[in-house]
Structure 1
Amino acid sequence: MVPSLPSRAASTAASAASSETAEAPTATPTRPPSTPTVLADPAVSGDNIRKRFLEFYAARGHKVLPSSSLVPEDPTVLLTIAGMLQFKPIFLGQIPRSVPRATTAQKCIRTNDVENVGRTARHHTFFEMLGNFSFGDYFKREAIQWAWELAIKEYKLPVERVWISVFEDDDESLAIWRDKVGVAPERIKRMGAADNFWSSGPTGPCGPCSEMYFDFHPERGHEGASLEDDSRFIEFYNLVFMQYNRTASGDLEPLKNKNIDTGLGLERMAQILQKVPNNYETDLIYPIIQKAAQLAGLDYATADERSKVMLKVIGDHTRAVVYLISDGVYASNIGRGYQVRRLLRRVVRMGRMLGIGREGLDTHEGAFTPAIAEVVVGMSGAVDADVSRNAGRIYDELRREELRFVQTLELGEKLLERLLATATAAKDGDSGAVLSGKDVFTLYDTYGFPVEITEEVAAERGVGVDLEGFEKEMETQRKMSQAANVAVKLVAGGVSAELAEKVAATEFLGYTHLDGMGRVAALVVGGSLVTEATEGQECEVVLDKTPFYAESGGQIGDTGLVEVTSSSSSGLLRVLDTQKAAGGGALFMHRAIVEAGTVTIGASASAKVDVAKRRRSQCHHTATHLLQAALKKVVGQDVSQAGSLVAFDRLRFDINCPRPVTEEELTRVEELVNGWISQAVPLEVTVMPIAEAKAAGAIAMFGEKYGDEVRVVNVPEISLELCGGTHVTNTAEIQGFKVVSEAGIASGVRRIEAVAGPAMIEYLTARDGIVKQLSTQFRIKGEEVPARIAVLQEDLKGARAEVSDLKAELALAKAQLLAGRAVKLAGGASILVEQVPGVDADSLKVAAEQLLEGLGDPGAVILGSSVEAGKVSLVAAFSPAVVKAGVQAGKFVGAVAKICGGGGGGRPNFAQAGGKLPEKLEEALAKARADLESALGKAS
């Protein structure tokens, strides 16, 4: 199992409830009213626990590395869910280790069981995982002894309260705990593979685990004690011993390099050391809860349990969304953005249920979430210094999303009224009115209505709720959410792993040279390593040295030619693309076609980049830096990058911005960028420690991972960014810059596309050609084209209106000829079901309404037509008496349209539908006539 907050903490509702009230050692069950958050012993503060952990392992030779972003580099994982994620390529052998041992305090997010947040003692969406890692350096003995020393000597946990679990077959670990460390045998438990053997898939690295538990109730003794009893034990430290590789046949082979991967839950250790009954009442979360309680006019300690749960949810979720937004994730309806929106809407909903209003909220336009987020930001310094720097952007996003959601909630209230009215009208005999599970879920998921509120309102109207159907919809969502929160997969083998073992890192020459000599270090054909590739084959080539830039940082890979020679053969490769090996970055893979001869391993290689294309990408990359600088000046400093593409023909730049960038702003941006280009500013590129670069104000590129030493691209007085891409040496080389488009691609995210250098000249030339062509056609000057087009548009609009009117008149004329075919039914209703050839859908609608007036009440009109090949239009117009009789136009015409291979619907009194089988129209109308007669009575 991955070192993590263990899932067994939520095994049953009963254990969850008992753990909620379990006493920590010498702790009172709950806080007294208005308990201050200042700890009696600062040494056990969350910040101090984190600091002591890192210092403990730093003193034992571990490199302290920063937390990686909550947006992982690994594309298989939606969010960073474990401390080991940033080291996955090292564990897989895809890249060499930079240090033999490391320690981190990693920010993590998990959203697969948000329903348990606030209801159990230890479930969170955001948490910190403290970890120490060994990459083929030390192993079990050191990991176990240090873990014990940290717990007993550093954190001073009572020896008799620490229990240990080991994998049932791991005699080695058990012996170390018992004989080397001295843990009493009765406090060591053997457990099965489900709990204590970590594997990440059917094949790959795996190994036994050993976990440390704290005993809240030692007075219960050892007899019959179960570590799965959450009311008594809490797992706080998990040690994973990666010592095997599981083969495709299921055999366990010893790994050449054995690794250590551990995780200690910061919030859990804080609960233990601060002697509080749950993680929420530690100094890591409680101040946030206090702020929410203050806004709600409550005292947490004296509040009822329902209110406490909601305050805990607000505290946990606000913490999560603040760090997610700081890391560049904005609310949307897809992917990571959906998780932000989902969590934030839960916060808003809980706040409104607690009665938090706009009173006393003088800032943030009356939104309360930014006021609570201010507490999170104030506590973030030791976790992530970027949070404070991004505070303005965080508050703006929270305010916008909250105010938008409040409007959505109000819409939801109106929808609920409509759904209840529909359910009441459609009740089935004595079974009563019921709100469908799908409707309840829509109210819950889209509009934020808790099920219990929907039940209460429905009960007042005498309407039941389909809870079973709701649970089915919820289960579907849970499966989707869990798929996004899968464990970190480490799959051994594959060509990337083989290459990492056999081939040294590629030396990149392309910052200073566009050609160079190297050697063919590896060849891949069809996903397998080979010794040679022949003419006509597509292959991937690894050179020990290359001037070709491999795609990263948004910049696409170089193309060009590689000539190879050996003692026995020669060949020519056309490079189509250059990428970095999967999971790594150390190896450059040149995707190429062998155009002539043969390519063999070890052959000398003369590599030549396509100079024209490289210059285009350099122009676009530097222009992207200038664009970001201009946007910050014109739109605002809170504008941040959300993605980019640097291609040969264009650049694309995505920004976090809540509104469209106006035409005036885009014009100003263009003027700034072109002004900087005309100033011929020389670029300065240096390599420096990352801390020094950040202190100088360098901006990091979105989604990039940086080491201790970073490359800084400086356009003096204009732009300073961390960037590994290729650039012009002087802004004058860009020649010019032009914005092509600006559009929204997600909530709060705008996309700007632009061209620079040769691509800009091509773009302007093409546009000029269009203007010249229009000028010739209209026989006017180029500057007169817009006015002429405006006149033509007005003329066209008038002509279309006139045609529409004529079509309606024609339809009426045709329909009047059919009016005499209306049939009077025995029940008193008059019906008219006819085909009206050559009439479009809009005109058909007008005709049906007119004919219904002539039929009177009760009356029903069904008209069908086919104007275009493969297109059918149907319309149904029913009088009030027909609707009251239970015949609804929407359902009726939808069923008829199915015969024509289509569908549709609408209101009970009027509806339209379509189809794609005109040859079935006569059959469909015959069915409509028969169904109306069946429902309203036979013809008299």
Structure 2
Amino acid sequence: PIDALRKTSGSTEFLGYTTTESTSELIGIIAEKQLVDELEEVGHTDPIGVVLDQTPFYGEAGGQVGDTGVITGGGFQFDVFGTQKDGELIVHFGHLRRGMLSVGATVTTQVASEHRAGIRRAHSATHILHHALHQTIGEKATQRGSVVKEDALRFDFAHGKSLTRAEIRQVEDIINARIAEGSEVGTQVMDLADAKKLGAMALFGEKYPDRVRVVTMGDFSVEFCGGTHLSNTGQVGFCKITSEEPVAKGVRRITALTGPRALERIRETEDLLEEMVKILKTPQPSDLPRRVEVLQEELRDAKQELAKQSSQSVAGTIDELLAAAEEVDGVKIVACVPENGTREVLRDYADQLRSKNIPIAIVLGAEVDGKAALLTCVSKGLIERGVKASDCIKVAAKVAGGGGGGRPDMAEAGGKKPENLEEAVAEGAKFYRGKLEG
């Protein structure tokens, strides 16, 4: 349908650089992938596409998202949730809320001003960020892509390693210094050759027409750009970098917030600090690191004491386990599921049982975090007889709904069925018995 509309209507004139409202003619309606002359279905599920002869709505391009807003006229209201550019046409996507759309109707357009303002802040901040990166890590940090939304931006750039914390802070400082300067933001359409003479930065791999739009900021930034911008860098208000990460070999990504969203992020951080101060009962946020260190030390000491007591508790039951263990061909088979067991407790049992220096085959189980944990081990002399812990664990783990492996003398596994632990341990003991009797 777009191709047919393009043949009959040509293009949409974009008015959005100078205004956010207009009186326009409705020249195309796209519903269910077809051109229609009229539409009066209110509450339709699939979005409708509306094309005008001229519009202040920016169609998504160059990484900048499309505008939102409303189109009205003749008793109808059409809410626009997104705008796309298709060749020379701009398509407004949305839903009819009341009335009837008809081709040829005169309509009034109104771009959502707050949404557009947030996009302008983020887009202008993107250009300042590009400049700040050049100042911090060099001019080889060229743009590799970007996404600009309402008070949020994502900027990809060429760089072979992660930025240090100091570099990120320097970039952020430069951005906010340029914002504070309140430099004029200017736009001009000129010949491509003249733009290059001015030193305009181009997007890597992008092809440009003979006539291009150039956006300048003070004396520090000159870039090819077709997006919507502020008239003064001070209007960004504030910019906060939220992350820096790799996205491809030799390409890094910075995400940042501007204006109200940047301020909101700062307040969220302050609220979190305040909550931590209350929970950890420290006089000031600056006391938090030391308080956390103290708690870590206390936790480490408590774990060591618990491990000591646990080991003593295990030691007290070793003789009982050996006395109750089945003996096959001179080998003790210890199979049990200790109460309140952990993986560390199972290993402690295994170490203390093997320290008795007698022929022994062990299979132990415990429920850990809602899952089955299994451990098997054998004295080294049994490996030569073909009795291996790594074989036993596979048999036991299968019953517990899992798998695992390890060395011939010791192996571990996990499973999704902790309710089958007793059966799994019994199956492991049966495996040992069969090997020893065979």
TM-score by length of 1: 0.43
Residue of structure 2 aligned with 1:536, choices 38, 43, 51 = 43
What do residues 198-234 of structure 1 show as CA deviations (whole Å, max 9, x unaligned)? Answer: xxxxxxxxxxxxxxxxxxxxxxxxxxxxxxxxxxxxx
- Residues of 2 paired with 1:526 and 1:802: CA distance? 70
Residue of structure 2 aligned with 1:849, choices 351, 356, 372 = 351
- Residues of 1 paired with 2:355 and 2:418: CA distance? 28
CA contact 2:151–2:257 (8 Å) conserved in 1: yes
What do residues 17-52 of structure 1 show as CA deviations (whole Å, max 9, x unaligned)? Answer: xxxxxxxxxxxxxxxxxxxxxxxxxxxxxxxxxxxx
What do residues 809-835 of structure 1 show as CA deviations (whole Å, max 9, x unaligned)? Answer: 545555554233333333x54432222
1:511 maps to 2:17: yes
Q: Closer, same or farther in 2 for the Cα pair 1:879/1:520, shift >3 Å?
A: farther
Out of 842-851 and 602-611, give the one that drifted further.
842-851
CA contact 1:840–1:865 (8 Å) conserved in 2: yes
Q: Secondary structure at the match of 1:714?
A: strand
1:588 maps to 2:90: yes
Please list, as runs of the form range in 1=range in 2, the aligned pairs for 1:638-657 lying within 5 A after superposition: 638-657=140-159
Residue of structure 2 aligned with 1:863, choices 364, 367, 387 = 364
Q: Which runs of 5+ in 1 are unaligned?
A: 1-494
Please list, as runs of the form range in 1=range in 2, the aligned pairs for 1:103-182 lying within 5 A after superposition: none
Residue of structure 2 aligned with 1:546, choices 39, 48, 55 = 55
Residue of structure 1 aligned with 2:325, choices 817, 822, 825 = 822
The aligned residue for residue 201 of structure 1 is none
Q: Which residue identity is paired with 1:521? A: I
- Residues of 1 paired with 2:99 and 2:352: CA distance? 79
Please list, as runs of the form range in 1=range in 2, the aligned pairs for 1:447-596 lying within 5 A after superposition: 495-530=1-36, 531-537=38-44, 538-565=47-74, 570-581=75-86, 585-596=87-98
1:927 maps to 2:427: yes
Q: Closer, same or farther in 2 for the Cα pair 1:610/1:822, shift >3 Å?
A: same
Q: Secondary structure at the match of 1:699?
A: coil
CA contact 1:620–1:648 (8 Å) conserved in 2: yes
- Residues of 1 paired with 2:159 and 2:89: CA distance? 36
CA contact 2:403–2:415 (8 Å) conserved in 1: yes
Please list, as runs of the form range in 1=range in 2, the aligned pairs for 1:1-400 lying within 5 A after superposition: none
1:697 maps to 2:199: yes
Q: Which residue identity is paired with 1:542? A: V
What do residues 424-471 of structure 1 show as CA deviations (whole Å, max 9, x unaligned)? Answer: xxxxxxxxxxxxxxxxxxxxxxxxxxxxxxxxxxxxxxxxxxxxxxxx
Deviation of 1:781 after TM superposition, in Å, equals 2.7
CA contact 1:830–1:855 (8 Å) conserved in 2: no
Q: Closer, same or farther in 2 for the Cα pair 1:866/1:779, shift >3 Å?
A: closer
Question: Which has the larger helix fraction?
Answer: 1
Deviation of 1:668 after TM superposition, in Å, equals 1.1
Q: Closer, same or farther in 2 for the Cα pair 1:545/1:816, shift >3 Å?
A: farther
The aligned residue for residue 687 of structure 1 is 189
Question: Which has the larger strand fraction?
Answer: 2
Q: Secondary structure at the match of 1:854?
A: coil
Q: Which runs of 5+ in 2 are unaligned?
A: none
CA contact 1:676–1:731 (8 Å) conserved in 2: yes
- Residues of 2 paired with 1:591 and 1:922: CA distance? 61
What do residues 725-764 of structure 1 show as CA deviations (whole Å, max 9, x unaligned)? Answer: 2111111111122222223344443322211222212222
Deviation of 1:637 after TM superposition, in Å, equals 2.4
What do residues 300-352 of structure 1 show as CA deviations (whole Å, max 9, x unaligned)? Answer: xxxxxxxxxxxxxxxxxxxxxxxxxxxxxxxxxxxxxxxxxxxxxxxxxxxxx
Q: What is the Cα-based RMSD across aligned positions, in Å?
A: 2.6
Q: Secondary structure at the match of 1:753?
A: strand
Q: Which residue identity is paired with 1:508? A: F
CA contact 2:179–2:234 (8 Å) conserved in 1: yes
Q: Secondary structure at the match of 1:534?
A: coil
Q: Secondary structure at the match of 2:61?
A: coil
- Residues of 2 paired with 1:642 and 1:763: CA distance? 26
1:878 maps to 2:384: no
The aligned residue for residue 231 of structure 2 is 729
CA contact 1:553–1:703 (8 Å) conserved in 2: no
Q: Secondary structure at the match of 2:59?
A: coil
Deviation of 1:878 after TM superposition, in Å, equals 3.1
- Residues of 2 paired with 1:933 and 1:798: CA distance? 42
Deviation of 1:865 after TM superposition, in Å, equals 1.0
TM-score by length of 2: 0.89
Q: Secondary structure at the match of 1:511?
A: coil
- Residues of 2 paired with 1:580 and 1:524: CA distance? 14
Q: Which residue identity is paired with 1:918? A: P
Q: Which residue identity is paired with 1:818? A: L
Q: Secondary structure at the match of 1:591?
A: strand
Deviation of 1:902 after TM superposition, in Å, equals 1.8
The aligned residue for residue 407 of structure 1 is none
- Residues of 1 paired with 2:221 and 2:153: CA distance? 17
Q: Secondary structure at the match of 1:700?
A: coil
Q: Closer, same or farther in 2 for the Cα pair 1:696/1:933, shift >3 Å?
A: farther
Q: Secondary structure at the match of 2:18?
A: coil
Q: Secondary structure at the match of 1:577?
A: strand
Identity %: 35
Residue of structure 2 aligned with 1:792, choices 290, 295, 298 = 295
Q: Which residue identity is paired with 1:522? A: G
The aligned residue for residue 902 of structure 1 is 402
- Residues of 2 paired with 1:830 and 1:891: CA distance? 18
Deviation of 1:635 after TM superposition, in Å, equals 1.9
The aligned residue for residue 107 of structure 2 is 605
Deviation of 1:879 after TM superposition, in Å, equals 3.3
Deviation of 1:648 after TM superposition, in Å, equals 1.3
Deviation of 1:672 after TM superposition, in Å, equals 0.9
Q: Secondary structure at the match of 2:355?
A: helix
The aligned residue for residue 707 of structure 1 is 209
Q: Closer, same or farther in 2 for the Cα pair 1:789/1:519, shift >3 Å?
A: farther
- Residues of 2 paired with 1:746 and 1:810: CA distance? 53
Q: Secondary structure at the match of 1:930?
A: helix
Q: Closer, same or farther in 2 for the Cα pair 1:633/1:794, shift >3 Å?
A: farther
- Residues of 1 paired with 2:383 and 2:158: CA distance? 50
CA contact 1:837–1:867 (8 Å) conserved in 2: no
The aligned residue for residue 675 of structure 1 is 177
CA contact 1:698–1:721 (8 Å) conserved in 2: yes
Q: Closer, same or farther in 2 for the Cα pair 1:864/1:729, shift >3 Å?
A: same
The aligned residue for residue 383 of structure 1 is none
